[in-house]
């Protein structure tokens, strides 16, 4: 549907009540895959991290990754779920070439975690509690590349290549209950919920949590129900929405699209939909009926998972502070304004700033450096800021500025040196000879020389035109190759101008 | 000098150990015999003669160098084609895997190699182990060495025919509902289905995961025990593999040879596995065996297992259900043959369908359809769910029976070997042939078949099935060895010594085969 055909958002909400549901897939960062010993990593050639089991070769058998079970239980606990005393894997049978066994090893009616809750806070301060139906374990599919054809999709492709390196990577799928009452906040609820999940898995350390790499993937279910009706509308499932902003946009788009269709007397097809990041629209995928028959049955090649209550409690004790609570605490401790704090959170720099402050920096200085210069350099390099430099180095840099050894401008050069691998900030200062000249003698000599060279300026200063000092300051700074504190130079210029008879 | 091919693995082991014969000689003798008779028997789908002789030479060299070798080092073995072997095609008797050489060895194959056995080749079977006659092999049936016009049992007819025709002293089989025991029975050989989880399934091309078990196929109980000791024990690659430590099965079998080993043993006779549908000669030999046991001091107890009546029904829901899913991976994408549809676009779905249509035989298709149906929404509870309940009831029947007796016995199969084609058009008749063996798979308990004579009416072998409680495989070997000794003493010979000599059909069969 073209954007122009969408119903106005406010109008859509006037006529319909949105009902949401989310399925978030979290890729666990275990060393090995879910059911075999192959490395859970990418970057090597296609199909290099494979074995008879994850390639689905005849005779291959699964073995459960104990670390993946542990991660799943911790994630379940962090989502407020109950942990099953007896949980089983089940086969979800369907044919698709990216699924080596032509069944996915998943969980059906006996998931590892169920009945959870997650309360999220919207920008308005509104609190929304999302009920979690279940969090279950399963293995990921391989990756298909469609070759030939214009779109990169299967339609029109000449052939397709399969890479099973991702096949068998452990996933936890988190399924919400229906979310009603979201109203106009529905798109924001989607974004905030997925952000909260992402924050939790990151805090737990169970996933790399990079949405752009597919570590966290969201399927968004949206349906509309006419005002005054209590009958649920037909839902669509927008698959693999892979950024927080896209979740928000996709939910909003579906509300407007479905509203336009329904208001025109049309019907919604129960189907999956593809999200198009570039154009901001969804398009029809495959029909999905409730009668889709995956012929689930308990996986006979695996024994049930029966985590002892003692183990579950041990794992509960390892849970980190809930991210939302931690954010509240940190903002209060640091005294950041809302916008300042949001900037840190949105830049994903909470950990970096916290570590920098812990290493002795003032909160505002830590924030300023990370969201400023470090973020800028990271952006140029196309990497994340916290991968560019260690918090302890940033703290050392800030310390040098506070001590007056470096000006901000010099500090930026030192930071570049640190990032270039030249050593600690102190080592870079020495290596590049970047320290501020704080020896007044050297400055005075340069000032006297500059004043002597510009007698007209000297005269103006003596006439009380203090702003004329700028020209002399500039000359001095140039002579010192910038390695002087401009404020101190100014003081000294005025002093020398007054006394140099 | 003795005819090497007629010796048991245990006897060969002795001759090899004291270097009376070399492994090369033993291996060559078997290869020559295979060359001589296998055109008629067709036990093998693949014979790896050069590789076998090379391995044998290495074992001989190691023995000459004084290396410590296991008891079966240098002894030849045949491998059922359901097991993955990285140097031989592994087809599971199916056209869909024609020529497929796996990149890995099944755990049992690895263990057999590590123990120094000589792999002769791969044996024929019903496609994906679905069948009781090998008639469903995509590569033609195997013939029963006792009567070449008859089936050798199935699915492991190739392994059973190989040992009973002296092509190999040992073989590996797999047993999902009787595929080791029923062929053993109809060929006069010995076959053991271990406790579920006792032997690794890793690399065994799955039929029904919750029922499959790999086990030994031999001519004597003691040989089966020796092979069991090689292949058994925990394998971390099979999640259903038991972590228990196991006693030596060979020691257990030797214990059975002691005088009085049968005295006081409580032997349960399952009421439901007798009577109607059992061939008179089978029943006669069974009753005679019970009389011998009784005379040897065993206590014969009649027991009832009322739910065995439902075993076949439950089995033919659980097996197809699991198989329909296990066989989904045969899709032409990563391995095996690929068949393009005759016309229309070449989408993956259509190529998959064309491959599966051309690659799977009729029985495989039948069971995939059955299983897909049984698992379908709306039918799951009535079919698969009910079958699982029956399975629990059958396990309880076993528990109740083993509360009264030490071992359970029955005929291994209701009939002797039938003629080719006899049951091909009637799947139910074929399925009913497994009535005796299926309960052990459903309950996971170990079972053994050993010869108990020839049926008077047709002169064909009849097998005795022995079952023991789960994990007590050792008891099977002790009791089985004792019964074998008792029967052979009563006959004055081994059963297989009465099998007809198969004449060489190949003109170039080497004279060296008999040394």
Instruction: Report the alpha-carbon distance of residue B175 to residue B212 in Å, rounded.
Output: 6
pLDDT at A477: 83
Instruction: Report the alpha-carbon distance of residue B110 to residue A59 in Å, rounded.
Output: 14
State the nearest Cα–Cα gap between A165 and chain B, in angstroms.
Answer: 14
In a mutational test of the B interface, the residue from A32, A59, A143 whose CB has the highest number of chain B CBs within 10 Å is A59
pLDDT at A2: 83
Half-sphere exposure of A161 (CA within 13 A, CB side): 9
Strand order in the sheet with A103-106: A103-106, A90-93, A297-298
Instruction: Give me the percent of chain A exceeding a pLDDT of 90.
Output: 69
- Residue B222 included in any domain: yes
As a whole number, mean pLDDT of residues A357-386 equals 92
pLDDT at B509: 44
CB contact under 8 A, A56 and B377: no
Find, among B208, B57, B67, the residue nearest to B128 by Cα: B208
- Residue B39 included in any domain: yes
pLDDT at A438: 66
pLDDT in tens, A148-159: 877 777 777 888
Cβ atoms within 10 Å, residue A5:
11
Instruction: Spell out the residues 6+ positions from residue A266 whose beta carbon is closer than 8 angstroms to its own.
Output: none
Identify the three-state secondary structure at position A319. Answer: coil
Number of domains chain B is built from: 1
Instruction: Report the alpha-carbon distance of residue A113 to residue B134 in Å, rounded.
Output: 47
pLDDT in tens, A386-410: 889 999 999 999 998 888 888 888 8
Angle at which helix B473-491 crosses helix B249-256, to 10 degrees, equals: 40
pLDDT at A164: 96
For residues A95 and B352, the answer to whether their CB atoms sit within 8 Å is: yes
**Residue A185 β-bridge partners:** none
Q: Which residues of B touch A303 (CB under 8 A)?
A: 239-240
CB contact under 8 A, A91 and B325: yes
Which of A51, A95, A103 is opposite residue B352, by nearest beta carbon?
A: A95
pLDDT in tens, A284-301: 988 877 667 999 999 999
CA dihedral A104, A110, A112, A115 (to 10 degrees): 120
Q: Which residues of A touch B329 (CB under 8 A)?
A: 56-58, 100-102
Q: Which residues of A touch B103 (CB under 8 A)?
A: 52, 57
Q: Residue A128 is encoded by which pair of tokens?
A: 């929304």
CB contact under 8 A, B334 and A55: yes
For residues A441 and A403, the answer to whether their CB atoms sit within 8 Å is: no
Cβ atoms within 10 Å, residue B127:
28
Find, among B142, B161, B182, B183, the residue nearest to B499 by Cα: B161
Handedness of CA B329, B332, B334, B336 (dihedral sign): positive
CB contact under 8 A, B333 and A301: no
- Residue B451 included in any domain: yes
Handedness of CA A119, A121, A125, A131 (dihedral sign): negative
pLDDT at A499: 55
- Residue B383 included in any domain: no
Q: How many CB pairs under 8 A join A and B?
A: 107
Q: What is the Cα B353 distance to its own chain's centre?
A: 32
CA angle B472, B475, B481 (to 5 degrees): 145
State the nearest Cα–Cα gap between B202 and chain A, in angstroms.
Answer: 6
For residues B90 and B81, the answer to whether their CB atoms sit within 8 Å is: yes
Q: Which helix (H) or strand (E) holds A145?
A: strand A143-147
Find, among A144, A146, A128, A250, the residue nearest to A185 by Cα: A128
Instruction: Report the alpha-carbon distance of residue B226 to residue B235 in Å, rounded.
Output: 19
CB contact under 8 A, A160 and B372: no
Find, among B377, B96, B331, the residue nearest to A142 by Cα: B331
Is the pLDDT assigned to residue A434 strictly greater than 90? Answer: no
Low-confidence ranges of chain B (pLDDT < 70): 1-2, 505-515
pLDDT at B1: 47
CA angle A71, A77, A78 (to 5 degrees): 90
Instruction: Give me the percent of chain B exceeding a pLDDT of 90.
Output: 92
Q: Which residues of A touch B203 (CB under 8 A)?
A: 52, 59-60
For residues B190 and B451, the answer to whether their CB atoms sit within 8 Å is: yes
Active site residues of B: 80, 155, 179
Residue with tokens 């993955």, as numbered in its chain? B84
Q: Which domain holds residue B162?
A: 4-256+263-308+391-494
Handedness of CA B65, B71, B76, B81 (dihedral sign): negative
pLDDT at B2: 67
For residues B203 and B109, the answer to whether their CB atoms sit within 8 Å is: yes
Find, among B338, B369, B372, the residue nearest to B95 by Cα: B338
Beta B299-303 vs B266-270: how paired, if at all?
parallel
Predicted model pTM: 0.88
Instruction: Spell out the residues 6+ positions from residue B12 whose beta carbon is closer than 8 angstroms to its own.
Output: B4, B21, B26, B74, B75, B169
Find, among A115, A168, A163, A103, the residue nearest to A137 by Cα: A168
pLDDT in tens, A301-341: 999 999 999 999 999 999 999 988 998 999 999 999 999 99
- Residue count of chain B, please give it: 515
For residues B445 and B398, the answer to whether their CB atoms sit within 8 Å is: yes
**Residue B447 β-bridge partners:** B193, B467
Identify the three-state secondary structure at position B401. Answer: helix
A447 vs B513, more confident: A447
Q: What is the mean pLDDT of chain A?
A: 91
B166 vs A432, more confident: B166
Q: Which residues of A touch B81 (CB under 8 A)?
A: none
| Residue A260 exposed, middle or buried by CB count within 10 Å (0-12, 13-18, 19+) | middle
Is the pLDDT assigned to residue A260 strictly greater than 90? Answer: yes
Identify the three-state secondary structure at position A477. Answer: helix
pLDDT in tens, A20-50: 999 999 999 999 999 999 999 987 799 999 9
pLDDT at A407: 84
CATH number of the structural domain spanning residue B398: 3.90.1300.10
Q: Would you list the DSSP string of A396-435?
A: HHHHHHHTTSS-HHHHHHHHHHHHTT--SHHHHHHHHT--
ipTM of the complex: 0.95
CB contact under 8 A, A59 and B377: no
Handedness of CA A299, A303, A309, A311 (dihedral sign): negative
Which domains occur in chain A, in start order? 3-312 (no CATH), 323-432 (no CATH), 440-499 (1.10.10.410)
Which of A63, A91, A100 is opposite residue B334, by nearest beta carbon?
A: A100
- Residues 389-428 (B) with a CB less than 8 A from some CB of A: none
CB contact under 8 A, A59 and B106: yes
Rg for chain A, CA atoms, rounded: 30
Q: Which helix (H) or strand (E) holds A170?
A: strand A170-176
| Residue B422 exposed, middle or buried by CB count within 10 Å (0-12, 13-18, 19+) | middle
- Residue B50 included in any domain: yes
Residue in A closest to B96 by C-alpha? A58
- Residue B467 included in any domain: yes
**Residue B299 β-bridge partners:** B266
For residues A246 and A15, the answer to whether their CB atoms sit within 8 Å is: no
DSSP state of A179: B
Output phi, psi for B121, to 5 deg. 160, -165
């Amino acid at each position: 549907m073209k954007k122009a055909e969408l119903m106005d958002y406010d109008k859509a909400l006037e006529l319909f009540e949105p009902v949401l549901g989310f399925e978030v897939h979290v890729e666990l960062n275990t060393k090995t895959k879910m059911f075999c010993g192959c490395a859970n990593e990418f970057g090597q050639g296609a199909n290099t991290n494979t074995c008879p089991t994850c390639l689905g070769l005849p005779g291959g058998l699964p073995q459960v990754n104990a670390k993946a079970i542990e991660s799943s239980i911790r994630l379940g606990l962090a989502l407020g779920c109950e942990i099953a005393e007896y949980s089983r894997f089940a086969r979800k049978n369907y044919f698709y070439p990216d699924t080596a066994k032509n069944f996915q090893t998943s969980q059906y009616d006996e998931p590892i975690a169920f009945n959870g809750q997650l309360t999220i806070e919207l920008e308005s301060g509104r609190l929304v509690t999302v009920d979690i139906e279940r969090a279950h374990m399963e293995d990921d599919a391989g990756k298909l590349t469609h070759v030939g054809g214009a779109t990169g999709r299967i339609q029109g492709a000449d052939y397709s290549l399969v890479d099973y390196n991702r096949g068998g990577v452990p996933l936890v799928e988190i399924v919400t209950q229906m979310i009603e009452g979201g109203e106009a906040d529905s798109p924001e609820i989607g974004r905030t919920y997925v952000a909260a999940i992402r924050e939790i898995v990151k805090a737990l350390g169970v996933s790399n949590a990079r949405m752009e790499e597919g570590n966290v993937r969201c399927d968004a279910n949206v349906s509309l129900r006419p005002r005054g009706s209590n009958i649920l509308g037909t839902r669509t499932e927008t698959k693999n929405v892979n950024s927080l902003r896209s979740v928000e946009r996709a939910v909003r788009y579906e509300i407007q699209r479905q509203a336009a269709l329904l208001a025109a007397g049309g019907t919604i097809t129960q189907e999956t939909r593809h999200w198009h990041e570039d154009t901001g629209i969804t398009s029809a995928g495959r029909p999905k009926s409730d009668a889709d028959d995956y012929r689930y049955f308990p996986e006979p090649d695996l024994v049930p998972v029966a985590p002892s209550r003692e183990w579950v409690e041990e794992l509960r004790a390892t849970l980190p502070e809930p991210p939302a609570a931690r954010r509240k605490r940190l903002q209060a401790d640091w005294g950041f304004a809302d916008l300042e704090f949001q900037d840190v959170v949105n830049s994903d720099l909470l950990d970096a700033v916290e570590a920098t402050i812990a290493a002795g920096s003032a909160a505002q200085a830590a924030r300023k450096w990370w969201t400023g210069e470090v973020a800028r350099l990271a952006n140029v390099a196309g990497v994340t800021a916290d991968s560019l430099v260690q918090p302890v180095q940033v703290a050392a840099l800030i310390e040098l500025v506070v001590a007056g050894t470096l000006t901000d401008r010099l500090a930026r050069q030192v930071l570049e040196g640190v990032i270039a691998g030249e050593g600690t900030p102190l080592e870079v200062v020495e290596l590049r000879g970047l320290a501020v000249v704080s020896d007044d003698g050297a400055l005075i000599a340069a000032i006297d020389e500059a004043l002597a060279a510009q007698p007209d300026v000297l005269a103006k200063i003596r006439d009380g035109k203090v702003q004329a000092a700028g020209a002399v300051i500039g000359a001095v700074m140039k002579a010192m190759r910038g390695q002087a504190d401009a404020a101190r130079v100014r003081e000294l210029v005025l002093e020398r101008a007054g006394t140099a008879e | 000098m003795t005819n090497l091919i007629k010796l048991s693995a245990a006897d060969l082991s002795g001759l090899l150990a004291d270097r009376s014969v070399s492994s090369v000689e033993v291996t060559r003798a078997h290869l020559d015999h295979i060359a001589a008779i296998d055109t008629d028997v067709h036990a093998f789908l693949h014979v790896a003669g050069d590789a076998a002789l090379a391995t044998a030479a290495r074992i001989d060299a190691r023995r000459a160098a004084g290396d410590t070798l296991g008891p079966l080092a240098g002894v030849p073995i045949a491998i059922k084609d359901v097991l993955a072997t990285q140097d031989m095609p592994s087809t599971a008797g199916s056209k869909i895997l024609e020529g497929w050489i796996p990149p890995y060895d099944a755990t049992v194959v690895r263990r057999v190699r590590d123990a120094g056995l000589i792999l002769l080749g791969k044996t024929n079977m019903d496609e994906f182990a679905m069948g009781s006659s090998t008639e469903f092999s995509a590569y033609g049936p195997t013939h029963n060495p006792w009567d070449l016009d008859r089936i050798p049992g199935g699915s492991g007819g190739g392994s059973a025919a190989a040992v009973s025709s002296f092509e190999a002293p040992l073989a590996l089989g797999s047993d999902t509902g009787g595929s080791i025991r029923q062929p053993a029975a109809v060929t006069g050989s010995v076959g053991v289905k271990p406790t579920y989880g006792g032997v690794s399934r890793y690399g065994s091309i799955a039929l029904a995961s919750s029922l499959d078990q790999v086990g030994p196929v031999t001519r004597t109980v003691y040989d089966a025990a020796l092979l069991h000791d090689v292949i058994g024990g925990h394998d971390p690659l099979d999640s259903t593999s038991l972590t228990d430590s196991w006693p030596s099965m060979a020691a257990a079998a030797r214990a059975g040879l002691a005088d009085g080993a049968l005295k006081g043993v409580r032997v349960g006779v399952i009421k439901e596995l007798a009577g109607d549908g059992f061939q008179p000669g089978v029943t006669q030999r069974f009753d005679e065996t019970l009389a011998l046991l009784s005379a040897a001091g065993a206590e014969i107890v009649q027991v009832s297992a009322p739910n065995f009546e439902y075993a076949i029904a439950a089995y033919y829901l659980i097996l197809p259900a699991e198989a329909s899913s296990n066989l989904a991976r045969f899709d032409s994408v990563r391995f095996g043959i690929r068949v393009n549809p005759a016309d229309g676009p070449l989408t993956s779905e259509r190529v998959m369908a064309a491959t599966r249509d051309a690659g799977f035989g009729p029985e495989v298709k039948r069971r995939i359809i059955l299983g897909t149906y049984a698992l379908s929404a709306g039918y799951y509870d009535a079919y698969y769910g009910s079958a699982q309940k029956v399975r629990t009831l059958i396990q309880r029947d076993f528990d109740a029976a083993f509360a009264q007796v030490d071992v359970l016995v029955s005929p291994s199969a209701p009939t002797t070997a039938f003629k080719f084609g006899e049951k091909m058009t009637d799947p139910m008749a074929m399925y009913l042939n497994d009535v005796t063996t299926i309960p052990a798979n459903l309950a996971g308990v170990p079972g053994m078949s050993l010869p108990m004579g020839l049926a008077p009416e047709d002169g064909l072998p009849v097998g005795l099935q022995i079952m023991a409680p789960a994990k007590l495989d050792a008891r099977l070997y002790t009791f089985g060895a004792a019964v074998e000794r008792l029967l052979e003493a009563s006959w004055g010979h081994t059963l297989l010594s009465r099998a007809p000599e198969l004449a060489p059909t190949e003109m170039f069969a080497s004279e060296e085969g008999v040394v």
